[in-house]
Amino acid sequence: MAILPIKKFVFSKRIDPYFTGVYEAYKFTALFFREVFKRPFHLREVVNQSFEVGIKSLALISLTGFIVGIVFTKQSRPSLEDFGATSWLPSLIGIAIVRALGPLVTALICAGKVGSGIGAELGSMKVTEQIDAMEVSAINPFKYLVVTRVVATTLTIPVLSLFCSFVALYGSYVNVHSEETSSLVSFYQSAFSTISFLDIFSSVSKSLVYGFTIGMVGCYKGYNATQGTRGVGKAANQAVVLAMFLIFIEEVVIVQVANWIRYF
């Protein structure tokens, strides 16, 4: 008779922290939406963080997008050649990159680079009590540190996503040109001939959601870091893993919603 209460206690001890974490994340997100529309807006800090997210990620995004375009084109060509439909290659690549690959590749790269950076930066500020010092100095640390970073990632990652899509298409053109010597203008015309406004809208919408998720997860993990320097590394690692997990879930949901709208 005494074993059942012990097992129930152990089970509750494992489950309770999960629901507590979900509630804390909800409060953190709700606080963001309360603070984002209040003055001061710290526009200079938003611009600085947008520079950190956008310009410093541009080289990695460009290289990755270019390689994705080349590799995806090389892998798709043999299948289309079997059906004598290589002329459809630009349209196929355009649909795949604009609808899915561009936003997803950009989000995953930024989750690893930007999300971990935000988690480590805020985590180090938390464990060294710099955030507490800001509160003593009559500065709202949440407004200055969290809101500015989340706004920056939300606005910048869609731009990076569109840029990655264009670079990936150019990588695809390089491969197509080496095989068929087609012009750049005709390639882009063929690639965008099957892309609708809904495709562009869903791509930008996904990127906005991804950017918000990356910024919010990185800030939440860093802002609540504990256990000294060990907690900083843990916060950065958890920010990357959780952001990528949520990105894949959001990808499935948004694609399903976009398909429903497209069929109706």
Expressed as residue numbers, the domain containing 216 is 41-263
- pTM (global) more than 0.85: yes
| Ranges in the chain, pLDDT < 50 | 1-4, 6, 8-9, 11
Judge whether 1 lies within some domain: no
Q: Note the pLDDT of residue 1.
A: 43
Judge whether 18 lies within some domain: no
Number of domains the chain is built from: 1
Q: Note the pLDDT of residue 162.
A: 92
pLDDT tens digits for 187-218? 888 888 888 888 888 899 999 999 999 999 99
CB neighbour list of residue 65: distance below 8 Å, 6 or more residues apart: 102, 105, 106, 163, 164, 165, 166, 167, 168, 171
Judge whether 247 lies within some domain: yes
Query: Do residues 236 and 123 make contact, with C-beta atoms less than 8 angstroms apart?
Result: yes
> Whole-angstrom Cα distance, residue 245 to residue 181?
41
Q: Note the pLDDT of residue 3.
A: 47
Tell me which residue of 165, 173, 248 sits closest to 204, measured CA to CA.
165
Judge whether 150 lies within some domain: yes
Judge whether 14 lies within some domain: no
Q: Note the pLDDT of residue 48.
A: 92
Judge whether 12 lies within some domain: no
Judge whether 20 lies within some domain: no
Judge whether 99 lies within some domain: yes
pLDDT tens digits for 213-241? 999 999 999 888 887 778 888 888 999 99
